[in-house]
């Protein structure tokens, strides 16, 4: 990493120069970061999880991508520099960075610890593809597929010592994304909870809901995932394409968490809810494939909702919860040079259940062209 006298430094990264159509891939690149200012820390990135959102963002699936785009928001690293006034962390601390690196700090959601709903001029500042507005000029943020990142100490998480840092990084997104709705909708011991989609998000949801004392049913389209879901702690498994299995569970669920990342028909899952039951989707950022049948919703007082990630405090809470209950994501470790193949395998659902990049491999990666 090279530091200049102008208050900036150059870090190595892997990112997209444009959307990934036509065979384009993520490539090595040099990225410019500011040196740590007051209240900020410089973090050497040790591990970074590969989230499905990374794939959506670099492909511009949400039509809001800023290029170049360096993804990665499941970051575990080591503090190497602490700016003036930093009190929460010291050089050498092992820390985490999730989906946000800042917010306006002043609006009602921020004041209530829900920075993900920031009502500032540009909302929360996301770890990558985010807008900051210094001096009324906006610029792009770069994520954890890089050697270093600079973050305000208020958005840095403490990693409990009992967590294996080589496996824990997905807790910072997949973990809090599923933990937050389970907590908000008050899932408790004895509740019958369905988790739809047993992938990066879903496998965390099964383990978290089980640790909360729920009776957990994994719901998947693939028979081959039955054994894996049971190994995660699910009490039962439903293959959603099996009509008799779905019928047998109608009007029995207190809560259903849907982690499917693409458009789907929500109505078969609504029919599984009991009266006053709640269904929440966390994977889909777009419309359902078919309109919601409000007759089925209203006649049993059901609710259909959505959830995003969680605030800083809630992210720390899920890290502590995982440490207390011995929960770790199931991961496969890769080198940064394998990231394009990993993206393909995530889209093809060939990973069990989350890739994590050993970022030491970036130090030996080819230089940017």
Distance CA 52, CA 138 (A): 26
Question: How far is residue 247 CA from its own chain's centroid?
Answer: 32
Supply the pLDDT for residue 4: 47
Supply the pLDDT for residue 135: 44
Per-position DSSP letters for 98-130, written without gaps between them: -SEEE--S-SHHHHTT-GGG--STT-SEESSS-
Supply the pLDDT for residue 5: 43
Topology classification of domain 174-306:
Rossmann fold (3.40.50)
Distance CA 231, CA 64 (A): 38
Provide the H-helix boundaries in the chain. Answer: 52-58, 108-111, 174-184, 200-211, 226-232, 243-248, 267-270, 294-298, 312-325, 339-347, 360-363
Q: What burial letters (b/e) apply to 342-359, b meaning 16+ CB within 10 Å?
A: bbeebeeeebebbbbbeb
The tokens describing 99, both together, are 């989906």
Q: How many CB atoms lie within 10 A of CB 367?
A: 8
In CATH, the number for domain 2-170+330-363 is 3.90.180.10
Supply the pLDDT for residue 329: 98
Distance CA 342, CA 336 (A): 9
Q: What is the pTM of this model?
A: 0.94
Supply the pLDDT for residue 222: 85
Tens digit of each residue's pLDDT (9 = 90 or more) over 45-92 = 999 999 999 999 999 988 989 999 999 999 999 999 999 999 999 999
Question: CA-based diameter of the chain, in Å?
Answer: 68
Distance CA 294, CA 28 (A): 49
Rg from Cα positions in the chain: 21
Supply the pLDDT for residue 363: 79
DSSP E strand boundaries for the chain: 2-3, 8-15, 27-34, 40-50, 75-82, 94-97, 100-102, 125-126, 131-132, 139-140, 148-152, 157-158, 192-196, 215-220, 236-239, 253-258, 273-281, 303-306, 331-334, 354-358
Q: How many CB atoms lie within 10 A of CB 267?
A: 16
Q: What burial letters (b/e) apply to 21-53, b meaning 16+ CB within 10 Å?
A: eeeeebbbbebebebbeebbbbbbbbbbbbbbb
Provide the H-helix boundaries in 30-99. Answer: 52-58
**């997949």: which residue's tokens?**
174
Supply the pLDDT for residue 207: 98
* Cβ neighbours for 199, distance < 8 A, ≥ 6 positions apart: 52, 259, 261, 349, 351, 353
Of residues 147, 172, 152, the one with CA closest to residue 88:
152
CA angle 272, 276, 281 (to 5 degrees): 60
Give residue limits of the domains in the chain.
2-170+330-363, 174-306
**């824990």: which residue's tokens?**
168
The tokens describing 361, both together, are 């491999």
pLDDT lower than 50: segments of the chain:
4-5, 134-136
């Amino acid at each position: 990493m090279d530091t200049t006298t102008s208050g900036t430094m150059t870090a190595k990264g892997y990112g997209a120069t444009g959307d990934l159509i036509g065979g384009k891939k993520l490539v090595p690149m040099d990225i410019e970061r500011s040196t740590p200012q007051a209240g900020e820390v410089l973090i050497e990135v040790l591990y970074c999880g590969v989230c499905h959102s990374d794939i959506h963002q670099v492909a511009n699936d949400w039509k809001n991508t800023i290029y170049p785009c360096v993804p990665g928001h499941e970051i575990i690293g080591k503090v190497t520099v602490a700016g003036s006034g930093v009190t929460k962390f010291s050089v050498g601390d092992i820390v985490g960075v999730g989906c946000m690196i800042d917010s306006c700090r002043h609006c009602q959601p921020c004041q209530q610890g829900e920075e993900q709903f920031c009502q500032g001029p540009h909302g929360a500042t996301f770890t990558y593809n985010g807008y900051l507005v210094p001096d009324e000029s906006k610029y792009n943020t770069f994520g954890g597929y890089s050697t270093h990142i600079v973050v305000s100490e208020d958005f840095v998480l403490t990693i409990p010592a009992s967590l294996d840092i080589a496996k824990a990084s997905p807790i910072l997104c997949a973990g809090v994304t599923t933990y937050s709705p389970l907590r908000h909708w008050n899932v408790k011991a004895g509740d019958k909870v369905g988790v739809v989609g047993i992938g990066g998000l879903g496998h965390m949801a099964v383990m978290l809901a089980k640790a909360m004392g729920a009776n957990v049913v994994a719901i998947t389209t693939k028979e081959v995932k039955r054994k894996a879901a049971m190994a995660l702690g699910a009490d039962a498994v439903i293959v959603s394409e099996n009509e008799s299995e779905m019928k047998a569970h109608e009007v029995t669920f207190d809560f259903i968490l849907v982690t499917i990342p693409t458009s789907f028909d929500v109505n078969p899952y609504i029919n599984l809810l009991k009266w006053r039951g709640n269904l929440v989707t966390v994977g889909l950022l777009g419309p359902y494939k078919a309109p919601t049948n409000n007759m089925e919703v209203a006649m049993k007082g059901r609710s259909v909702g959505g959830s995003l990630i969680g605030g800083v405090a809630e992210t720390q809470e899920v890290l502590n919860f995982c440490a207390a209950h011995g929960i770790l994501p199931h991961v496969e470790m890769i080198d940064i040079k394998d990231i394009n193949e990993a993206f393909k395998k995530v889209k093809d659902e060939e990973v069990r259940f989350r890739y994590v990049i050993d970022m030491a491999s970036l130090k030996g990666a080819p230089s940017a062209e």
